[in-house]
């Protein structure tokens, strides 16, 4: 399958394009960007053409791997789907439920395959963890995702504006929803910087907690994820430098979904479910409902 990468930023080049350039069963056909010079430079890194002509690239590929800010991803996904191209998208699918609905509608109308790149879902260790969790009666779980944007290649305008909730919150939900079930209720509280604390209510009384931050001290950075139940605690251990390998798996699974016509567990419909939870959390933060503890 021939792929075009839409985007010229750090993640687009070092993960999406790098993965496809090395993939044994997919071909990187070109790179698109709004800035022609950047598109050509990105393409040159992988010996493919760079262009600012989206229609021309779409005419030459079977699928697109999109790595742009969420608000830019939505119209690009719509155009690619309308052109009959399969979609490998970044999370979040959009920054509102309406935006996510647009992408889902475009995919359903076109009948194309879709996968949202929740990075950790494409690790072998995560697949094993999910299988173990499925054999256990679970009561709850927790995810802590702490980091610092300052000085990193991910210090972008959209992440500063929307915070860790919208950037790494999708990763947390991509682990908790398949283990504990759909999220029915959200409580939220703000911490220092953009730190957010969530309490999620799932079906059958299960509950989970999530702490997210892009403004944590450097020595505090790290990821912890676990669920608990009658078999004790099931801990998902972090693994460094997995993005390119995970993206390669996502490419495999998109191609399989396109071939079989089946829905992928991380398709745009699941991506929209994640956006619904994030939007509810944002509303909970804005409402600021809290009780003061009496002295």
Distances (CA, A) of 149 to 43, 64, 164, 169, 199: 27, 27, 9, 15, 24
At 187, the pLDDT band (50, 70, 90 cuts) reads very high
> Average of pLDDT values for 188-194?
96
> Average of pLDDT values for 263-292?
93
CATH of 124-238, one of 3.30.70.2660, 3.30.360.10, 3.40.640.10, 3.40.50.11400: 3.30.360.10
290 has pLDDT over 80: no
What would the pLDDT profile of 204-243 be if each residue is shown by its tens digit?
Answer: 999 999 999 999 999 999 999 999 999 999 999 988 889 9
Other beta carbons within 10 angstroms of residue 25's beta carbon come to 9
Least confident of 14-18, 192-196, 291-295: 291-295
The predicted structure's pLDDT at residue 233: 97
pLDDT > 70: what percent of the chain? 100
63 phi/psi in degrees, rounded to 5: -150, 160
At 177, the pLDDT band (50, 70, 90 cuts) reads very high
b/e per residue, 225-263, with b = 16+ CB within 10 A?
Answer: bbbbbeeeebebeeeeebbbbbbbbbbbbbbebbeeeee
22 has pLDDT over 80: yes
> Average of pLDDT values for 129-146?
98
Contacts (Cβ under 8 Å, ≥6 apart) of 241: none
Alpha-carbon gap, residue 290 to 295, rounded angstroms: 16
The predicted structure's pLDDT at residue 195: 98
What is the H or E stretch that residue 199 is in? strand 196-202
Least confident of 17-21, 108-112, 249-253, 283-287: 283-287
Mean pLDDT, the chain, rounded, equals 97
Residue 138 tokens, joined: 């679970």
What would the pLDDT profile of 239-266 be if each residue is shown by its tens digit?
Answer: 888 999 999 999 999 999 999 999 999 9
Q: What is the CATH number of domain 2-118+244-266?
A: 3.40.50.720
Sorted by where each begins, the domain ranges of the chain are: 2-118+244-266, 124-238
> Average of pLDDT values for 77-95?
99
Contact 165, 246 (CB under 8 A): no
What would the pLDDT profile of 42-61 be if each residue is shown by its tens digit?
Answer: 999 999 999 999 999 999 99
The predicted structure's pLDDT at residue 289: 73
pTM: 0.96
């Amino acid at each position: 399958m021939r792929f075009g990468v839409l985007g010229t930023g750090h993640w687009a080049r070092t993960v999406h394009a790098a993965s496809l350039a090395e993939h044994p069963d997919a071909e990187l056909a070109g790179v698109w960007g709004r800035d022609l010079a950047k598109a050509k430079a990105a393409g040159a890194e992988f010996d493919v053409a760079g262009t600012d002509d989206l229609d021309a690239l779409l005419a030459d590929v079977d699928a697109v791997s999109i790595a742009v800010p969420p608000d830019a991803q939505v119209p690009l996904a719509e155009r690619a789907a309308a052109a009959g191209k399969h979609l490998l998208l970044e999370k979040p699918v959009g920054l509102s439920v309406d935006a996510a609905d647009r992408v889902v509608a475009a995919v359903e109308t076109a009948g194309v395959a879709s996968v949202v790149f929740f990075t950790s879902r494409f690790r072998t260790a995560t697949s094993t963890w999910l299988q173990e969790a499925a054999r256990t009666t679970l009561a709850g779980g927790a995810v802590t995702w702490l980091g610092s944007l300052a000085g990193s290649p991910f210090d972008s305008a959209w992440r500063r504006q929307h915070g860790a909730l919208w950037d790494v919150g999708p990763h947390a939900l991509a682990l908790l929803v398949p283990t504990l079930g759909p999220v029915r209720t959200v409580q939220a509280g703000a911490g220092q910087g953009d730190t957010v604390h969530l309490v999620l209510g799932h079906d059958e009384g299960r509950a989970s907690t999530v702490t997210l931050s892009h403004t944590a001290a450097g020595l505090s950075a790290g990821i912890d994820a676990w669920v608990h139940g009658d078999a004790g605690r099931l801990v998902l251990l972090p693994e460094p430098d997995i993005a390119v390998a995970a993206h390669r798996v996502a490419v495999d699974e998109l191609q399989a979904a396109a071939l079989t016509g089946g829905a992928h567990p991380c398709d745009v419909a699941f991506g929209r479910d994640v956006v619904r939870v994030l939007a509810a959390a944002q509303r909970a933060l804005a409402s600021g409902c809290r009780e003061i503890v009496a002295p």
